[in-house]
Amino acid sequence: MDSGVIFDPDTYTRRVPYEEFARLREAAPVSWVEGTAVGPWSAGPGFWAVWRHADVKAVLRNPKVFSSYLGATQIRDPATPADLAYVRQMMLNMDPPVHSRLRRLLARAFTPRAVAALQDRINARARELVAAVPDDGVTDFVKVAADLPLCTLADVLGVPGSDRYLLFDWANRVIGYQDPEYSTSDLAATMVSTTPMAQAALAVRPKPDGDGRMPDPRTRAGIPDLYAYAHEFAAQKRRNPGEDIMSILLQQVDDEDGRVSVEEFENLFWLFAVAGNETLRNGIPGGMAALLAHADQWERLDKDRTLLGTAVEEMLRWWTPVVHFRRTTTIDTTLGGVDIKAGDKVVVYFASANRDPRAFPSPEAFDVGRSPNDHLAFGHGPHFCLGAALGRHQMKAMFAAVLDRFAAVEPAGEAVRLRSNFQNGLKRLPVRFTPR
């Protein structure tokens, strides 16, 4: 019963099943989960779920045994061999040394100097977003928070700010493909000031079928508007290169050696456009949800702003944005005392590992001063998130701006959770702030 609960996306519309995680984690460090049918998706092969912090880290730091490339990184296998071959061109689904080559190129956009250059703009945007909250303090904090990572991502990519809601829609459709509302997200179409290349992309956006379903956005054919935009955007960047990630990548696509293929470029654009803001889009509202549930920690943070750094780490641990990721074994191996065959799926559960009492004293407690805090919200090993420092700064900027303007916060309605067994997401979080 436990394994079915943790796999069913409907579970996550009510809660993250931490109690089930705890029971499974204490029963065994690694256990078998059946790949049950979910809605229109048929049953698939089962997988080995990894529950404990130390074992999750062991998997993530050993790509020679636990590969991102073999079966990619989603629990569900790509629908066809061609789909698998294509997603293997994405950095997320690569192993060293190929992964290392692309990561070194992208690291140029995430140096401490590059992050520092964005910080003033991030701080100013956070203050503007918080200043726009109505005087009565009642707002949907998900909407308040969403624009900060979107604008920051647009800066990093070099995407015009007017087109940022394309990124919003693409992320909703891919990450929220199990959620009827998010799977058909189309906010960009309502914007009046998008660029011609955005309009061209919107013209090829798929339409829902008679049952209201969109094509699978985790395939190239399922999200043609993203790829249309990527190539129009590339043409513009070739004419007017800058210091952004896309300009850096295109130099590598166009050089004599072709160090980055067209397919790799397309997949890197997909990766940044879709996944580049999701941890923050869920982490910032999740941090507020934690403070709503722990008024004493709001008061503690309000009295001592030096705790902002540790508070952000605790928000990411307590509200882990990404629930799990998959690897595939390259050889027969043993993990947590369990024998695993070559070719088996191994799925690490970050949401369980970040509540493991072996790594975190009183793991169910939300403590803004928790230190040390070896959470895995940004991953671990070769695939540790390149944008972690930028993400941390955005969270600190948002909560600093909130605390500067407001003395207290309380719920103003029911939170609405994303239907997804992959992302710990909030679609709406009504709050009532008390102005100072």
Q: Judge whether 338 and 28 are in contact, CB under 8 Å.
A: yes
Residue ranges of the domains in the chain? 3-418
Count the neighbouring beta carbons within 10 Å of the beta carbon of residue 414: 9
CATH superfamily of 3-418: Cytochrome P450 (1.10.630.10)
Determine the pLDDT at residue 349.
98
Please identify which residue in the block is written with the tokens 């790949």.
Answer: 35
pLDDT tens digits in sequence order for the chain, 436 residues long: 456 789 899 999 999 999 999 999 999 999 999 877 776 667 778 999 999 999 999 999 999 999 999 999 999 899 899 999 988 988 999 999 999 988 888 887 777 888 888 999 999 999 999 999 999 999 999 999 999 999 999 988 889 989 999 999 999 999 999 999 999 999 999 987 889 999 999 999 999 998 888 998 888 889 999 999 999 988 888 888 887 888 888 887 777 665 778 788 888 888 888 887 888 999 999 999 999 999 999 999 999 999 999 999 999 999 999 999 999 999 999 999 999 999 999 999 999 999 999 999 999 999 999 999 999 999 999 999 988 999 999 999 999 999 999 999 999 999 999 999 999 999 999 999 999 9
Determine the pLDDT at residue 402.
98
Determine the pLDDT at residue 86.
87
Please identify which residue in the block is written with the tokens 């726009």.
Answer: 132
What 3-state class would DSSP assign to 71?
Answer: coil
For 223, 256, 259, the CA distances from 321, given in Å and listed in that order, are 23, 40, 33
DSSP letter at 271? I
Phi, psi of 35 (to 5 degrees): -85, 75
CA dist 365 and 29 (Å) reads: 22
What is the token pair recorded at 301?
């943070």
pTM, two decimals, is: 0.94
CA dist 276 and 10 (Å) reads: 25
Determine the pLDDT at residue 257.
64
CA dist 136 and 429 (Å) reads: 16
- In 3D, which of 121, 95, 105, 142 has the Cα closest to residue 284? 142
Cis preceding linkage at 97, omega within 30: yes
DSSP letter at 360? S
CA dist 320 and 394 (Å) reads: 16
First to last CA, the chain: 48
Which amino acid makes up residue 163?
D
Determine the pLDDT at residue 3.
64
Determine the pLDDT at residue 1.
40
What is the token pair recorded at 171?
């992320």
Q: Judge whether 114 and 352 are in contact, CB under 8 Å.
A: no
For 98, 107, 169, 181, 236, the CA distances from 102, given in Å and listed in that order, are 7, 9, 26, 34, 22
- Rounded to 5 degrees, what angle do the CA atoms 11, 380, 30 make? 50
CA dist 71 and 85 (Å) reads: 9
Determine the pLDDT at residue 9.
92
What is the token pair recorded at 426?
């909030």
Ordered strands of the 30-35 beta sheet = 30-35, 44-50, 345-349, 324-329, 66-67
Please identify which residue in the block is written with the tokens 């992959």.
Answer: 422
Q: Judge whether 149 and 280 are in contact, CB under 8 Å.
A: yes
